[in-house]
A and B are shown apart, each in its own frame.
Chain A
Amino acid sequence: MTTASTDKHSAPPTRHHRGDVLLVVRNAAVIYNQNRSIFRRSKFEALSDVSFDLCAGESLGVIGRNGAGKSTLLRLLAGVIKPDRGTVVKQEGVTASLLVLQAGFSQELSGRENVYLSGLALGYSKDRIDQEIEKIIDFSGIRSHIDVPVRTYSTGMRARLGFSIIHKLQTDILLLDEVLGVGDRDFKKKTTAIMKEKIKSEQTVVLVSHQASMIQELCNRALWIENGVAIMEGPTEDVIKKYEK
């Protein structure tokens, strides 16, 4: 299995033809140790049995109630953890990244320096950030504050900066955890539109949500998980119909 970080530093992701299988998940299970005491050990299966294929260009919606194992699945796909049973196999060179707002932000540093810090943590190369920095600042709309410590930012400003960094992130498989729009009303509109466009484009996306409506609108295929088990997979319409019953 190639880890999420492989080749993220080198230029844009490899081009894949629509329909190529990028990722194969087979009977994946993740079991956490619930407590660390040596006197008592209990195991918790966050994910018990999930299988699916992901093809280039499609957007897969993962739906399930709280605690169904959605976030664990995303971590698995991002290559942060490995399954305890089953397999997660990415095609050679395929990258998958979770969209994380404000990853690794440092409060005392300026906005500009945080763009670098966060960008590098996400796997951008320094050259790439050098190229994009002005565009990122423009997009965030907080140029006047870009050189003061992030500590002084409002929540909205932080969100703006965070989003501006990640929306340029290029990865083969984009992993999304609910978050679509952030910031105040205007910025939220802007970001939601961008994310929707991204999901509907050639970009391969896995979107996790408990909101059926969001998945219905944006995804062409859906996977329903409950208590760590894949209940149903298929065209969004059919899955949502069953899910909402």
Chain B
Amino acid sequence: MIKSLYKYRAYILYSVRAKLISKTIKNHLGVLWLLLDPILRMVVFYVVFVFLMHKRTENFTTFLLIGIVAFTWFMQGLTMGATSISQAGRLIQQIFIPKVVFPTITTLVHTIEFAIVVSLLAIYISIRLHPAISWLALPVIILTQFVFVYGVTLLSAAIVPFIPDLSFLISHGTRALFFLSGVFFEIKPTDPQYHLFMLNPLAKLLEQYRQILLHGRWPEWNSLLHVSCIGLVMILAGAFILEKFEHYYPRITA
């Protein structure tokens, strides 16, 4: 896997660039959409929860934005990963390219988009809140999520071409996860369902982001290690399947 990625590194970089450019060029507002998208989604939740249901916690907008932005990164890895190989269909039927290259490109594209949004969000947050020393842990959490997202992307890229029906399940699954990961609500350690809820690695991750950014507390390092391990296992499994069926994917993608 690492050998293939190294060998095709230049192709990967050029493809990432190509994808980013064509994505931003297509719309008039270009790169601004990266930012507008989570903000618009936040506005919807804000309207529902603050104006209609009168539920308001402290720093609700920031709370929401963190959840939405981090969740979107994950969701795009899963959904775009699933189609990454079939989208390269014509190419892989004509030229041999290691299949692990395509989900890797997808992951990198979304990571860069995420990075752009995060840096803009960071400006917003540092205006609204007082920076705390715990913010230094942010790169560690982002790295953890990267490992997790990469694993999810590789695995969905590896499996979905065999069972295209899964893409239906994925869209329902991500919606369920959106509700189950605490994107727009908080579950406190005192709640009885807390431990069950936190079995979801995504919920764990979102909690860590909020711990360090909103509450100025250090993250639970154990949880981060736990989530990275899950991610690592998924990366290995995904890469294994992709490599094993390397010559089979061109037959099942049209």
Which among B8, B22, B247 has the highest number of chain A CB atoms within 10 Å?
B247
Is B14 positioned at the interface, with any CB of A under 8 Å from its CB?
yes
Mark each residue of chain B from 222 to 250: 1 if its CB lies under 8 Å from any CB of chain A, else 0: 00000000000000000000000001101
Q: Is the CB of B97 within 8 A of A5?
A: yes
CB closest chain-B residue, reference A126: B10
- What is the interface size of chain B, counting residues whose CB is below 8 A from a CB of the partner? 27
A82 pairs with B95, CB closer than 8 A: no
- Residues A108-128 near B (CB distance < 8 A): 108-109, 113, 116-117, 120-123, 125-126
Q: B119: CB under 8 A from chain A? A: no
Contact A80 B250 (CB under 8 A): yes
The contact of A36 among B15, B164, B250, by CB within 8 Å, is B164
Residues of A within 8 A of B18 (CB): 106, 108-109, 113, 117
Query: Number of A interface residues, CB 8 Å?
Result: 32
Query: Are A5 and B96 touching (Cβ within 8 A)?
Result: yes
Q: Does A87 touch B at the CB level, under 8 Å? A: no
User: Does A3 reach chain B (CB closer than 8 Å)?
Assistant: yes
Interface residues of B, dominant DSSP:
helix
The winner among B25, B94, B248 for most chain A CB atoms within 10 A is B94
Inter-chain contact B10/A81, CB cutoff 8 Å: no
Give the chain B neighbours of A81 by CB distance below 8 A.
247-248, 250-251
Q: Which of B14, B92, B97 neighbours the largest number of chain A CB atoms within 10 Å of its CB?
A: B14
Cross-chain contact A108 with B25 (CB below 8 angstroms): yes
Contact of A107 among B22, B97, B252 (CB under 8 A): B22
Is B7 part of the contact surface with A, judged by Cβ < 8 Å? yes
* Chain A residues in 8 Å Cβ range of B26: 108
Report the separation of the CA atoms of residues A82 and B252 in the bound assembly, to the nearest whole angstrom.
Answer: 13
Interchain CB contact under 8 A, A80 and B14: no
Assembly CA distance A2 to B15 (angstroms): 26
A98 touches B22 (CB 8 A): no
Q: Mark A57-82, 1 if CB is under 8 A from B, else 0.
A: 00000000000000000010011111
Known contacts A5-B97, A80-B94, A108-B22; A117 and B14 CB within 8 A of each other: yes
Convert B29-52 into 0s and 1s, putting 1 for each residue whose CB lies closer than 8 angstroms to a CB of A.
000000000000000000000000
The yes or no answer to B21 lying at the interface (CB within 8 A) is yes
Chain A residues near B (Cβ < 8 Å): 3-5, 9, 32-33, 36, 75, 78-82, 97-98, 100, 103-104, 106-109, 113, 116-117, 120-123, 125-126, 149
Q: List 9 A-B contacts (CB under 8 A).
A: A4-B96, A75-B250, A80-B95, A81-B248, A106-B22, A108-B21, A108-B25, A109-B21, A116-B14
